[in-house]
Amino acid sequence: MHKITRRQFHLGTGVSLAGLATFSSQTARTEPLPHAIPDIRTKTLSRIVFGSCCHQDKPQPIWDKILERQPELFIFLGDNIYGDTRDMTILKAKYDKQAKNYARIRQESDVMAIWDDHDFGENDAGKHYPFRDPSKALFFDFWNEPEDSPRRRPDDGIYTSRLYGPEDRRVHIILPDLRYNRDNLRTVTTKRHAKERDLAGLGPYLPIADESQTMLGNAQWQWLEQQMQIPAKIKIIGSSLQFLASQPGWEAWSNFPHERQRLIDLIQKYKVDGVFIISGDTHWSELSCQTQNVPYPLWDMTSSGLTETWANVSPNAYRWNDLSFAGQNFGAIYIDWDLNDPLVIFEVRDVQGNRVFQHSILLSSLRGKWS
């Protein structure tokens, strides 16, 4: 893997990204595009910051350090509030309380958001949560989704995507919804088994063999297959749950292994270069990489949480170089487009803004040997 040099980037306090263009706020130019992409923006993305798991009742000093990174886009990956209620009045009040904490990032950066269980409304909930539609309406109102937005479609989830940059530097952000259509999880059957798994840092959930069970639902899979066919230099899939982690026993794509494989198969089917994943939920950060049975090394950088922590980090066979961190954190992606072979940097920083870990790859490493 390409090693970063001091000449190329300085990523300490304050941002000086040698070779990266500096962008002021720009007016977005909207162009129609098939497959329900909301907009194309002329702004090239070089600094993307993301995070998850932010409790509205807790102090949030981390935003000062996030804003020091001067993000051009911030991606909220879920648990953006801790609602956990079937009372929509309470859920709205928690959004209202969180609004002031998010005011600066929403003023100073583009923002995209997806939900996870706690802002969906109930811990580990899926399609049987009875207030998913009222909750969806509150989510859209909080994030200022236009009333005529196709994202407000009835009887389906909040998945969305966006394209940034000109053709030669295009970044495609894809945010699936892992809640609205998700079938029930499979749990361990005995208290003894649950206790043994807990001692091993594993949660109560097991992989589901029944391929009729789904996280995304048929309509969303059709949409996602369309997204895979839209040209871009980089595709970032922002997942509220970990994609690569090898059966942590908590919520993850590994609970639906056939759906996990289905996404990998789409990358193969449409010969899609430049894909990597960012994820949240866990209350720790880590970097994962799968190199076998994939068309090229597939990366998943997890950042969680902005306020929440969990010391008992689960085992993960795909964890890269044992990189994990159980404190408050946020993730960042930096892209140096000025190199002939663009450099992509994955980084996690703590609540004080200190770099916890960093790893860099060349964009050419995310290319398949397509037959």
Looking at residues 81-108, what average pLDDT do you find? 98
Residue 202 pLDDT grade (very low, low, confident, very high; cuts 50, 70, 90): confident
Taking each helix axis from N to C terminus, what angle separates 88-108 and 132-142, rounded to the nearest 10 degrees?
Answer: 30
> In CATH, which of 3.60.21.70, 2.30.110.10, 3.40.30.10, 3.50.50.60 is domain 40-366?
3.60.21.70
What 3-state class would DSSP assign to 168?
Answer: helix
Residue 304 pLDDT grade (very low, low, confident, very high; cuts 50, 70, 90): very high
Looking at residues 323-345, what average pLDDT do you find? 97
Phi (first) and psi of residue 14, to 5 degrees = 80, 160
* pLDDT at residue 121 in the model: 98
pLDDT at 17 over 60: no
Residue 26 pLDDT grade (very low, low, confident, very high; cuts 50, 70, 90): very low
Looking at residues 298-309, what average pLDDT do you find? 98
pLDDT at 29 over 80: no
d(CA 268, CA 176): 19
Q: Is 176 in contact with 239 (CB distance < 8 Å)?
A: yes
Looking at residues 13-21, what average pLDDT do you find? 35
Residue 249 pLDDT grade (very low, low, confident, very high; cuts 50, 70, 90): confident
Smallest CA-to-CA distance from 304 within 351, 249, 263, 244 is with 351
Looking at residues 64-85, what average pLDDT do you find? 98
Count other C-beta atoms under 10 Å from residue 84's C-beta: 17
pLDDT at 18 over 70: no
Residue 194 pLDDT grade (very low, low, confident, very high; cuts 50, 70, 90): low
* pLDDT at residue 193 in the model: 67
* pLDDT at residue 370 in the model: 85
Q: What's the pLDDT tens digit per position in 339-350?
A: 999 999 999 999
Residue showing tokens 């404190």: 327
Give the chain's end-to-end CA distance (angstroms, integer): 24
d(CA 327, CA 350): 7
pLDDT at 31 over 60: no
pLDDT at 40 over 70: no
The greatest distance separating any two alpha carbons of the chain, rounded to the nearest whole angstrom, comes to 58
* pLDDT at residue 27 in the model: 29
C-alpha angle with apex 240: 10 to 170, nearest 5 degrees? 50
pLDDT at 95 over 60: yes
Task: Report residue 267 as tokens.
Answer: 């990358």
Percent of the chain with pLDDT strictly greater than 70: 86
* pLDDT at residue 12 in the model: 36
* pLDDT at residue 61 in the model: 98
Q: What is the mean pLDDT of the chain?
A: 89
* pLDDT at residue 248 in the model: 78
pLDDT at 195 over 60: yes
* pLDDT at residue 30 in the model: 34
Amino acid at 81: I
Phi (first) and psi of residue 239, to 5 degrees = -105, 135
* DSSP structure class, residue 10: B
Lowest mean pLDDT among 129-138, 201-210, 218-227, 285-294: 201-210
Looking at residues 58-69, what average pLDDT do you find? 98
Percent of the chain with pLDDT strictly greater than 90: 80
* pLDDT at residue 204 in the model: 87
Q: What's the pLDDT tens digit per position in 163-184?
A: 999 999 999 999 999 999 999 9
Residue showing tokens 């394209």: 163
Residue 42 pLDDT grade (very low, low, confident, very high; cuts 50, 70, 90): confident
Q: What's the pLDDT tens digit per position in 253-262?
A: 999 999 999 9
Q: Is 72 in contact with 17 (CB distance < 8 Å)?
A: no
Looking at residues 287-312, what average pLDDT do you find? 97
Beta-bridge partners for 287: 301
d(CA 312, CA 67): 29
